[in-house]
Amino acid sequence: MQETIQIATTAREGLYDITRLVENVVQQSGIQQGLVNVYAQGATAAVMIQENWDDSVQTDVVHLLQKLIPRGVWLHDQQDGNGDAHLKAGLVGPSETIPIVNGKMGLSTWQNIFFCEFDGPRQERTVIVTILSD
């Protein structure tokens, strides 16, 4: 089974919690045991599993990546000014795969799924959710 999720982002860089949206797809699938893959379409976006309790963790992730990969110093910036966004997306990666156990995602209490925006804001970002049954 495969579904597409559309989200809008409101900042150039940020983490957006999409856990509930992915949970809805898993529930609709009826799959009890398997895998769910969450994939961000776009060369300047990523998907990350991260702490869900304290928003400062998500802010810290953005700040860390800004320090590691600053804006305005990359060759690609000469084309469209978003060289850092491409590098951040490549470092984090476009997808995460989560086990489905008894019809639910096998995330821990403190884990959520985040869409990572590195070149926003965008009116529409696409996330592809693919579910495989065992």
Any idea what the CATH number is for the domain that residue 55 is in? 2.60.120.460
Q: Which range marks the domain in which residue 81 is found? A: 2-133
Q: Distances in Å between the alpha carbon of 85 and those of 118, 124, 130?
A: 5, 17, 25
Total domain count, the chain: 1
Q: Please give the mean pLDDT across all residues of the chain.
A: 97
Whole-structure pTM value: 0.96
pLDDT in tens, 16-53: 999 999 999 999 999 999 999 999 999 999 999 999 89
Q: How large is the average pLDDT for residues 97-115?
A: 97
Q: Is the pLDDT of residue 134 over 90?
A: no
